[in-house]
Structure 1
């Protein structure tokens, strides 16, 4: 036995040395990868500098050169794609997967014990996606309008402009009026169909989010090609319009900034595409179980109680956990899995759809890093345009306009998706969030990161609490034909006596 002790000690020493070598090898690989990415980025930036830029042309104002240029697309992975190469980070995703399995087992076993059969009805999910065939038909019509009318409108404008040199201003104004009319019609008709068919929330969100996406893509295509053609005409060159295939690629590419060319990968990994779509489906089922297990029991019981301040506070804090899960599921299911799946299918190499927003120490950084796809569009076509008009001394006003515009359209989507006006998101996003944008200093450190997470979780808890309260109040309280019924929160004004002789109201 004594002779075995040195051998065990030697084997332990060898294992420790191997672990050290492996750790050193991995760190060296990460260092080499970082150096390679740094040199590649520097090379790409140097290449961009050597190319003729629009800001160097006298037609554009000098102030446009004083802010960041539009998005430069380079091959890169999403942040989580790289982080999931680390086993410790991948374990966090495995924990969420295990939790989903537990929720499924709980629902299955409970159905067998209580009803003697499997309870796999998914009533809430099917109800949310009701009338899906009508919603998909409306989406198809919107897609055809964006694919055909927008492209050929720009094509005819560019190629017929030289024939109207004597009435060039009137010609451009007529096309501008046509474009604005198209946007108004594109905004109004889908909303009319949502109200006409009374779409449930998920089907309405499909139409509304696709409406927003296609409008932003159409505006980017129009804006970029008009600018290009005006510069060509100024330099006395012939007007051009890109190939239709490039426009169709842009319509489905996971970006809202139009370019004639994007960096492309060499191959398509279909197993990766299937995994991403599978995780999107898993995120949808996760959201279903969160609603079924954590939201419906809380808010359905409110019809039996008078909602006093203590009850409201209890419901609010009970809403923070499901609300935070909704936030993470939307981020992971859409911004990571869905966009990466389309990027892989289209060989779109730039996968920077978000950045490390979870490390934000200010709301300004959070707004910039949460959704890079939408942020790029807002920066290019709202912030920069307003900055050029107002000058460099008014940087705060374009920022305020960007936040308010984003808040308005977030509330617009919620209004038509839920079927009632309850401006919780606008107030939290466009008022409170805007105040925090300027009041909270941009200091690094864990304290400010904790503060951002604290405000974020309370805000998402408030949104979950108020929207679910109002949804249940509108199911229980009788509707009114008055106009104010759509915009007045019924959870505040409804006084219906329940079987337990209680009032459904908010008494704060």
Structure 2
């Protein structure tokens, strides 16, 4: 009997040890799989980057080469969110949004005895949205029909004027330049005329710039094809113009570089589309609650005390956290969620809308990786064009032109969105950023990445504080109905008399 009991205990002990070994093996296999997936994702992005750099290096400067290679690939965050640790970071931001909503709600109940959702601010931001959407529809019809029809007529009848090619081309070039100028002027005039809210205005402005860049890319890529017909033999001279379906797809595709064909996915994942649009809406509410909780109380209180240098510095550093959230939410809501949603609906397979800009160790790398969609357009149609015109000897001049052009249009959007001219973004982006780009050393390492983040976050704090201060100054300071009043920052030139018993004054 003792022998039988001993055998039973031994058997149980063996089974337990076997199960422990089995569990440990499975755990190690899971760890190995996770590590392998991470390394494979890093390898994939590295290979992709090297392929593009090689394609760019091999591109000829004498023609518009396809330096932007479109291949099927996910966005960086799409791959990173497959790792549970990165998903945990996103969940932390979602939890912070829930806490903000609860905090604002409790403050309303305690102070006012009821829930005040403050949605009047949201309604002000989207004021006259229906008019903005109507203007967008007119802009879209113009870009879709007028531009394509004009290019079609120019390309179709060009051979009929083979004796006066130069005059024919110059006439159509003048028409094209006039169209671009009018496309810039009329929407801007309508924004000023109808007094749109900030969100309504930014819809028109961003669409205005997007459509102009789309039109220029389409024209710039297809003009050389039409011009090449002249060099062919008479028998080979046939009409060259893309199909309207190709042009229409390009107008909605999440890219600013024109190609006749793009890599396409076989199916549409509608659950993914709904998820992306849901996160866009969540990002909008996130920005809204950050403004309500952190920005409005801070800048409303500035109207109750004299602004000294210490208070001004404190406001700037208090604005770094909201400003950094604006930066991250704009990136995640638009560059990741919005563009991925449209890419999925259009089965657009190349989702490289940005790169790992958060790992940048210089502002040059940050500018290249933050918004790849716009960077590709600037590099293809501004940087390389200027580089060729300057004799292919100096890369600094094209880089300066790109930064200044980008800064000017960023300030253009901010000016018409806010309704006043205060070029703080142009100064930080086009002057300070350009100095950092040209003179900061470009070394790899953690220290330079931290330095880049410190400067970036301070810049966001400065922008947020200045724009909010100017907004409140525009509300409180009286107008003098002069041209200089519209272009002079009122927060620097105005003294406000508070409606108090002491009639104290403050400097904004």
TM-score normalised to structure 1 length: 0.92
What are the within-5 Å matches in structure 2 for residues 213-292 of structure 1?
213-236=210-233, 237-292=237-292
Distance in 2 (CA, whole Å) between partners of 1:395 and 1:83 is: 34
Compute the displacement of 1:394 (Å).
1.1
Compute the displacement of 1:39 (Å).
8.3
SS of the residue 1:166 aligns to: helix
2:4 alignment partner in structure 1:
none
What are the within-5 Å matches in structure 2 for residues 314-393 of structure 1?
314-393=314-393
Structure 2 residue 104 is the aligned partner of structure 1 residue 96: no
Compute the displacement of 1:54 (Å).
8.7
Distance in 2 (CA, whole Å) between partners of 1:465 and 1:54 is: 44
What are the within-5 Å matches in structure 2 for residues 124-139 of structure 1?
124-139=121-136
Distance in 2 (CA, whole Å) between partners of 1:38 and 1:300 is: 48
Cα gap change, 1:37/1:402 in structure 2, threshold over 3 Å: closer, same or farther? closer
Compute the displacement of 1:5 (Å).
9.9
Compute the displacement of 1:94 (Å).
0.4
1:155 alignment partner in structure 2:
152
Compute the displacement of 1:232 (Å).
2.8
Q: Relative CO higher for 1 or 2, CA cutoff 8 Å, sep ≥ 6?
A: 1
TM-score normalised to structure 2 length: 0.92
Compute the displacement of 1:110 (Å).
3.1
CA contact (8 A) 1:220 1:257 kept: yes
Cα gap change, 1:206/1:235 in structure 2, threshold over 3 Å: closer, same or farther? same
1:498 alignment partner in structure 2:
498
CA-to-aligned-CA distance 1:436-464 (integer Å, 9 cap, x gap): 00111110000000010010001010000
SS of the residue 1:344 aligns to: helix
2:206 alignment partner in structure 1:
209
CA-to-aligned-CA distance 1:64-108 (integer Å, 9 cap, x gap): 69xx85311000000000000000000011011111111112223
Distance in 2 (CA, whole Å) between partners of 1:32 and 1:161 is: 52
CA contact (8 A) 1:111 1:118 kept: yes
Compute the displacement of 1:305 (Å).
1.3
Structure 1: runs of 5 or more not aligned: none
Cα gap change, 1:310/1:54 in structure 2, threshold over 3 Å: closer, same or farther? closer
CA contact (8 A) 1:204 1:417 kept: yes
Out of 80, 103, 106, the position equivalent to 2:103 is: 106
SS of the residue 1:504 aligns to: strand
Distance in 2 (CA, whole Å) between partners of 1:43 and 1:427 is: 35
What are the within-5 Å matches in structure 2 for residues 70-81 of structure 1?
70-81=67-78
CA contact (8 A) 2:250 2:258 kept: yes
What are the within-5 Å matches in structure 2 for residues 185-196 of structure 1?
185-196=182-193
Compute the displacement of 1:32 (Å).
6.1
SS of the residue 2:495 aligns to: coil
Compute the displacement of 1:479 (Å).
1.3
Structure 2: runs of 5 or more not aligned: 1-8
**Aligned positions, number:** 493
Cα gap change, 1:245/1:305 in structure 2, threshold over 3 Å: closer, same or farther? same
Compute the displacement of 1:391 (Å).
2.3
Compute the displacement of 1:30 (Å).
5.3
Q: Which moved more, 1:183-192 or 1:98-107?
A: 98-107
Distance in 2 (CA, whole Å) between partners of 1:413 and 1:276 is: 25
Compute the displacement of 1:114 (Å).
3.9
CA contact (8 A) 1:304 1:502 kept: no
CA-to-aligned-CA distance 1:306-329 (integer Å, 9 cap, x gap): 111011001000000000000000
CA-to-aligned-CA distance 1:193-243 (integer Å, 9 cap, x gap): 011111121111111111000000010011111121112332343231111
CA contact (8 A) 1:70 1:376 kept: no
Compute the displacement of 1:392 (Å).
2.5
Distance in 2 (CA, whole Å) between partners of 1:424 and 1:190 is: 23
Distance in 1 (CA, whole Å) between partners of 2:396 and 2:116 is: 55
Structure 2 residue 480 is the aligned partner of structure 1 residue 480: yes
> RMSD of the TM alignment (CA)?
2.6
SS of the residue 2:499 aligns to: coil
Cα gap change, 1:339/1:10 in structure 2, threshold over 3 Å: closer, same or farther? same
Cα gap change, 1:296/1:33 in structure 2, threshold over 3 Å: closer, same or farther? closer
Distance in 1 (CA, whole Å) between partners of 2:444 and 2:46 is: 23
Distance in 2 (CA, whole Å) between partners of 1:289 and 1:456 is: 22
Distance in 2 (CA, whole Å) between partners of 1:258 and 1:200 is: 33
Cα gap change, 1:313/1:9 in structure 2, threshold over 3 Å: closer, same or farther? farther
Distance in 2 (CA, whole Å) between partners of 1:40 and 1:430 is: 30
Greater radius of gyration (CA): 2
Distance in 2 (CA, whole Å) between partners of 1:7 and 1:497 is: 85
Distance in 2 (CA, whole Å) between partners of 1:40 and 1:456 is: 27
SS of the residue 1:394 aligns to: coil
Cα gap change, 1:444/1:32 in structure 2, threshold over 3 Å: closer, same or farther? closer
Structure 2 residue 467 is the aligned partner of structure 1 residue 467: yes
CA-to-aligned-CA distance 1:32-57 (integer Å, 9 cap, x gap): 677788889999999x89xxx994xx
Compute the displacement of 1:23 (Å).
1.6
What are the within-5 Å matches in structure 2 for residues 406-445 of structure 1?
406-445=406-445
Compute the displacement of 1:480 (Å).
1.8
Compute the displacement of 1:27 (Å).
3.5
Cα gap change, 1:33/1:292 in structure 2, threshold over 3 Å: closer, same or farther? closer
